[in-house]
Amino acid sequence: MNNFVILPILIPLLAAVALIFMNKRIMLTRVFSAAASVLAIVISGILVQTVFTKGVQTLNLGGWKAPYGIVLAADQFASLLVLTTAVIGLLIVLYSYRSIGEKRERSFYYSGVQFLLAGVSGAFLTGDLFNMYVFFELLLIASYMLIVLGGTKIQLRESLKYIVFNIVSSALFVIGVGFLYAVTGTLNMADLSVKISESGQTGLITVIGVLFLIVFGLKGGIFPFYFWLPGSYYAPPTAIAALFGALLTKVGLYAITRVFTLIFIHDTQFTHQLMMWLAALTILFGVIGSIAYSDVMKIVIYNIITAVGVILFGIAVNTPASIQGAIYYLIHDMLIKGALFMLAGTLITLTGTASLHKMSGLIKRYPVLGWMFLISAVSLAGIPPFSGFVGKFKIVEGGFAQGEFVISILVLLSSLLVLYSVLKIFMYAFWGEEKETPNQEKRTAKGLLYPAAVFLLLSLLFGLGTEYVSPYVNQAAETLLNPEKYIEAVLKE
Amino acid sequence: MNQEKTNDMILQTVTKLVSFIILLFSFYLFLSGHNAPGGGFVGGLITSSSIVLLLLAYDLKTVKAILPVNFIYVAGMGLLIAILTGAGAFVFGAPFLSHTFGYFHLPFLGKTELATATLFDLGVYLVVVGVTMTIIQTIGEEE
């Protein structure tokens, strides 16, 4: 019993409710939501440290024992992601001050953000499959509200698609949970793992596993199911797109990781092979998209898909090195996508256009923005001192060790093309002659750059301080590779 | 509204009577949830249905004059009550959402079982009423 585990969910939830009441006073909502996020960061930091020293922390909600009640379980993987979520939450709130506009702020904007953060943290921490579904709905409903908030034409159109696809995938999620409950008679993830290893993973359970892969693939933007993503992420304002890009697809990936390292682990031949090829195709289509477009936002969005593929490959290979790599890359990608979205959004606000061909020579007027963009570009591609390197290195190492040469080489080649796609933005927008775009505003980028700078700083520290981060990541990977630890912590006594 | 003004006397008179019966029924369902079908969700829905009946018989302005509350705050209040009932367990060193009950001698009712789960249900009830009424009022107001 440890009530501490609920706090990363409870703080944003309470803040979201409190923000409903102070909706009319914008300054108050700004300060309050930032303060709540700072508190959430502190609490999640303490949680990470507690899990590091004392092992998996669990909380039986309402005092009911594990297979019967809902249990929250914080292993190191979940705790690290909760901490990253809290950091992203704070920076998005800070970025919103200057960019989101008073009209949206008056319409319960900060409340929506905090509800979304509560849903994401809940999905990371829960140890019960149906409870995970409920937290998915919490974060999705908050995201529906955020994607449509403001009501411009493109938002209305894209939010309709987004909502339809997510309702379909949620319905499939419930159907999957129903099947699994019919077969095993339990929904607690640790108990499911025990029951399935007792009865053996039959063909039926593998089919359910693939159904879950489809469900989480729809949420996470994996190859045949990513078609809703580019349009939907293009519609909302930058702050919201950054929040989605940094968090939402990663929740799908987290769920895939959790389910395929804890529950469906006895017939890896089929499921993991399938995941590997889906990962390869995801990477392929991601890089094709990011090379094809000359629209700043579209390039960044397709880079999300590539990264999802790389992480999925790391999970599918399922060796210690590749799982560690996947965790490094997941955290790195959450930070760097936040930074990239903010920088791309700032670029669009400054030039008044998203098309690369209409901007050039910005480095003279905005040198800081330019250099920050370059750093985030090389970091995204995985150049050694920066944060993307360790993760990709370990994933490829694991891939080669397992004899998956083709896809590992594809991962390496994808880095090149990712670098090309982001440097294309840098070269077109920042080099060359200064050119006046029709509605260019001569404004400074100051207020918009601080949050992105913090993201970059954290990402840099994450890359340079791998020594300090690695014990935590190793512990996270160890729990994922040995599900007995998780099961023991949840079903103890 | 260019619609002719009609005389809704029968509808309005029946509504005056029936809406109170519906309210009473919803209150009964809300309280009986622990040992019989019912609870916060269905109780809240039926309470809002009685307000919707008022809306049908009269109009938005009249109902706003009878019930001068912002239903968004009602929903917020409900959420707050539900969360704080769960968090109240912290004070007693119990896990989040732990509930307790006790037997009390109340005037008129005698020995009664009072459970903190009812407070959580009250939260659910308020959220349901708040959300339903917000939806209906917002759609009703749009021109």
Lowest mean pLDDT among A162-166, A208-212, A247-251, A426-430: A426-430
The predicted structure's pLDDT at residue A439:
54
**SS3 state of residue B72:** helix
Q: In the A/B pair of chains, how many CB contacts fall below 8 A? A: 39
**SS3 state of residue B8:** coil
A367 CA: distance to closest CA in chain B (Å): 46
CB-CB under 8 Å, B72 with A20:
yes
Name residues whose C-beta falls within 8 Å of residue A215's C-beta, 6 or more positions apart in sequence: A169, A172, A173, A176
A360 pLDDT band (50/70/90 cuts)?
A: confident
A243 CA: distance to closest CA in chain B (Å): 24
What are all long-range contacts of A136-140, with beta carbons under 8 Å and residues at least 24 apart?
A136/A170, A136/A173, A136/A219, A136/A251, A136/A255, A137/A170, A139/A115, A139/A247, A139/A248, A139/A251, A140/A166, A140/A170
The predicted structure's pLDDT at residue A349:
86
Q: What average pLDDT is seen over chain B?
A: 89
Residues 62-121 of B with CB under 8 A from A: 72-73, 75-76, 79-80, 83, 87, 89-90, 94-99
- In 10 A of CB A89, how many CB atoms? 29
CB-CB under 8 Å, B72 with A14:
no
Instruction: Give the tens place of pLDDT for each residue, A104-159.
Output: 888 899 999 999 999 999 999 999 999 999 999 999 999 999 999 988 999 999 99
What is the token pair recorded at A373? 């963009």
CB-CB under 8 Å, A62 with B98:
yes
- In 10 A of CB A397, how many CB atoms? 17
Burial A121-154 (b: 16+ CB within 10 A, else e): bbbbbbbbbbbbbebbbbbbbbbbbbbbbbeeee
CB-CB under 8 Å, B76 with A20:
yes
Instruction: Give the tens place of pLDDT for each residue, B65-78.
Output: 988 999 999 999 99
Percent of residues, chain A, with pLDDT higher than 90: 71
CB-CB under 8 Å, B73 with A10:
no
Identity of the residue in A17, A59, A61 whose CB atom sits nearest the CB atom of B79: A17
Identity of the residue in A1, A21, A62 whose CB atom sits nearest the CB atom of B76: A21
Nearest residue on chain A to B80, alpha-carbon basis: A17
Tell me: pLDDT of A393 over 60: yes
Instruction: Give the tens place of pLDDT for each residue, A35-51.
Output: 999 999 999 999 999 99
Which residues of A are less than 8 Å from B94 in CB distance? Answer: 63
Tell me: pLDDT of B5 over 80: no
Which residues of B are less than 8 Å from A14 in CB distance? Answer: 80, 83, 87
Instruction: Give the tens place of pLDDT for each residue, A263-293.
Output: 998 888 889 999 999 999 999 999 999 999 9
Q: What is the CA radius of gyration of chain B?
A: 19
Tell me: pLDDT of B4 over 70: no
A202 pLDDT band (50/70/90 cuts)?
A: confident
Give the bridge partners for A128, in sequence order.
A188
> Structure pTM?
0.94
Cα–Cα distance for residue pair A17/A106, rounded to 1 Å? 15
Question: Running DSSP on this structure, what letter comes out for residue B44?
Answer: H
The predicted structure's pLDDT at residue B2:
52
Cα–Cα distance for residue pair A85/A67, rounded to 1 Å? 28
Scan for tokens 């560690």, then name that residue: A324
Instruction: Give the tens place of pLDDT for each residue, A155-188.
Output: 999 999 999 999 999 999 999 999 999 999 999 9
CB-CB under 8 Å, B98 with A3:
no
A442 pLDDT band (50/70/90 cuts)?
A: low
Tell me: pLDDT of A438 over 70: no
The predicted structure's pLDDT at residue A432:
81
What is the token pair recorded at B59? 């109009």
CB-CB under 8 Å, B95 with A1:
yes
Tell me: pLDDT of B43 over 90: yes
**What average pLDDT does the segment A52-67 reach?**
88
Q: What average pLDDT is seen over chain A?
A: 91
Lowest mean pLDDT among A103-112, A389-398, B106-115: B106-115
Identity of the residue in B76, B80, B96 whose CB atom sits nearest the CB atom of A61: B96
